[in-house]
Amino acid sequence: MEQISAHVKQSVNGTLTFKPKKGDICASKFFPTVKVSDLLELPHSLRNEPAYALQFKLAYVELPTDDEDKKEALNVFVSEVLEKKVNLQLQYR
């Protein structure tokens, strides 16, 4: 992943004038929401690479209905998995 990040930074070479349109392939730091101004055009050499960020859902897990409990549950989950290696068992249904 570090190699890809370095390649994107090198390819951009200081030009941040990318104005993405619907359907454009972009590069950004992984985060649930990203400002349009933080997107970079993906270098042509990386356009055929597979997706590196995937969305998963935890099986048999539901958030509490109470807003405060929901926030606490999310905070605990994030503190346990963010920036850590997590072993997953993939199941498609």
What range defines the domain where residue 12 resides?
2-46
Give the model's confidence band at 46: pLDDT under 50 very low, under 70 low, under 90 confident, else very high.
confident
SS3 36: helix
Residue with more model confidence, 87 or 27 = 87
The answer to the question of residue 83 being in a domain is: no
The answer to the question of residue 51 being in a domain is: no
Give the model's confidence band at 91: pLDDT under 50 very low, under 70 low, under 90 confident, else very high.
confident
Tokens describing residue 61? 């897990």
Residue with more model confidence, 58 or 1 = 58
- C-alpha count within 13 angstroms, C-beta hemisphere, residue 49: 16
The answer to the question of residue 17 being in a domain is: yes
Q: What is the mean pLDDT of residues 55-65?
A: 89
The answer to the question of residue 71 being in a domain is: no
